[in-house]
């Protein structure tokens, strides 16, 4: 009797696709998190005040740290599915507080133009959550060492 493993079903080429998607999504969150500290008036506390996020002096640095830490975890593929969860919350709040008001006040096309990265990040995170880190990741190395 032959038992198929996950590696038998998923082609090796998908490992590279998973890696590229993780790098893309992780890099954007990592760099956005860093910018919350480099440019606090425009992208950190000042931005959070402008869009009405409660406790902006706490929330902005907290979100920045989450984006940096989870972005790095995605890039290296460590606790990958877990790392997507805070980022899914992060991007959902970003869409709700910035893109939905734009949709209501400026219309569909301006909101779609401004939200293209946010929506791409949301779908990228969902894809990474669904498929996991892939073979080229710390998660794969960690689980292979346990066999």
What single string gives the DSSP state of each residue in 39-69? SHHHHSHHHHHHHT-SSHHHHHHHHHHHHHH
87 in any annotated domain: yes
What is the span of the domain harbouring residue 67? 16-141
Q: Which residues of 41-63 are buried (b: 16+ CB within 10 A; e: fewer)?
A: eebbbebbeeeebeebeebbbeb
124 in any annotated domain: yes
2 in any annotated domain: no
8 in any annotated domain: no
Token representation of residue 39: 């440019």
146 in any annotated domain: no
pLDDT confidence of residue 14: 87
pLDDT confidence of residue 145: 58
Token representation of residue 121: 């990040």
123 in any annotated domain: yes
How many other CB atoms are there within 10 angstroms of residue 65's CB atom? 13
Given a cut of 50, the residues of the chain with pLDDT beneath it are 1-5, 7-8, 146-147
Q: Please count the structural domains in the chain.
A: 1
How many other CB atoms are there within 10 angstroms of residue 6's CB atom? 8
Collapsing DSSP to helix, strand or coil, 75 comes out as helix
43 in any annotated domain: yes
d(CA 78, CA 69): 11
pLDDT confidence of residue 105: 97
pLDDT confidence of residue 10: 58
4 in any annotated domain: no
The DSSP symbol for 2 reads -
């Amino acid at each position: 009797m032959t038992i198929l493993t996950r590696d038998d079903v998923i082609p090796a080429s998908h490992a590279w696709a998973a890696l590229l998607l993780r790098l893309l999504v992780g890099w954007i969150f990592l760099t956005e998190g860093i910018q919350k500290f480099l440019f606090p008036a425009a992208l950190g506390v000042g931005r959070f005040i402008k869009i009405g996020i409660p406790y902006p002096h706490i929330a902005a640095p907290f979100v920045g740290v989450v984006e940096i830490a989870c972005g790095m975890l995605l890039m290296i593929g460590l606790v990958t599915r877990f790392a997507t969860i805070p980022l899914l919350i992060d991007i959902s709040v970003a869409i709700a507080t910035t893109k939905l008001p734009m949709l209501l006040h400026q219309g569909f096309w301006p909101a779609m133009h401004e939200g293209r990265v946010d929506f791409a990040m949301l779908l990228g995170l969902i894809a990474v959550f669904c498929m996991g880190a892939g073979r080229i990741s710390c998660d794969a190395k960690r689980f292979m060492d346990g066999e």
